[in-house]
Homo-oligomer: A and B are copies of this chain.
Amino acid sequence: MKFYDCQTAPSPRRARIIIAEKGLEIETVEIDLGKAEQLSEAFKRINPRCTVPVLELDDGLLLTENAAIAAYLEALVPDPPLLGTTPAEKGLIAGWNARMEFEGLWPVADALRNRSKGMVGRAITGPTNYDQIPELAERGRSRGIEFFDMLNTRLGEAEYVAGDSFSVADISAFVVTDFASWVKLGMTDAHTNTKRWYDLLIQRPSIAG
C-alpha cells in the first residue's frame, strides 16, 4: 500500500491516526498542499478530485476519501475496532461521526476557506475554483461555536464521543478541535468535559506520535 498524505492538513490526519491505531506502517508520499501540489497533473492522475488522503492498494485500487480508507482498513484489520462491533455500536459510531463532519468539520472548513487570504478562489477543495463567500465564513464560525458547545455537553454524558470506547468519531472530533484553532475556534476554558477527553486522547501513541 501507499499513503498520500500532507503532514500539516487536517483531512489526511484523520486517516493517519486510523493507520497508526491499526498498527500499520505504510509507505507515505507527502503532497505539499502549500505549493498546490494536489492540483498538479501528476497528482490528478492519482486523484482527479485533487484531495488527500489517498490510499493506494497493492493492486492499484485508489481510495480517495476518509470514509473509504476507514471502512477498508476496519475490514482488513478488525482490531482494534474503530467502527464498532455490535449493530448498535456500529450505528452510534457512524451517527456521531457523521455529526462530527456535518456540524464540525465542514463548518470550520467553511470558516477558513471563505476568508483565508491564501484560499482566495479556492473556497471548495477539488479541481474547480470557487469564489469565497464572506457570509459563509461567518456562518461557519457561528456553527463552529455551537458545535464545540454541543461536543462539550456530549463529553459530559459519555467517556468518548460515541460511548464507552474510542472510535473514528473521536478521531474526527479530535482533528476538528485542533483544526478549529486555525480560525480561533475550538475548545474554550469552559469546555471542561472536552478538556478531560482531549487530555486522554493525546496519550494515545496514534495521536501523540
Chain A residues proximal to chain B, CB less than 8 Å: 49, 55, 57, 61, 63-76, 83-84, 86-88, 90-99, 106, 123-124, 128, 130-131, 133, 135-136, 139, 142-143, 146
Contact = CB atoms under 8 A, between A and B. Distances in A.
A71 B91 contact: yes
A152 to B, nearest CB: 15
Cβ-closest 9 pairs across A and B = A68-B95, A72-B91, A75-B87, A71-B94, A65-B95, A67-B98, A67-B94, A71-B90, A68-B91
Given A98-B68, A130-B139, A86 B91 contact: no
Contacts of A135: 133, 135-136
A7 to B, nearest CB: 22
Counted per complex, copies of this chain come to: 2
A72 B90 contact: yes
A69 B98 contact: no
B65 A93 contact: no
A76 B68 contact: no
30 contacts: A57-B88, A61-B92, A63-B91, A63-B92, A63-B95, A65-B95, A65-B98, A66-B98, A67-B95, A68-B91, A68-B95, A68-B96, A68-B98, A69-B91, A71-B83, A71-B90, A72-B87, A72-B88, A72-B90, A72-B91, A72-B94, A73-B87, A74-B90, A75-B91, A106-B106, A123-B139, A124-B139, A131-B139, A133-B136, A135-B136
Which of A71, A96, A106, A146 is packed against the most chain B CB atoms within 10 Å? A71
A83 B66 CA distance: 15
A93 B71 contact: yes
A15 to B, nearest CB: 12
Contact of A90 (B61, B75, B84, B90): B75
A130 B124 CA distance: 21
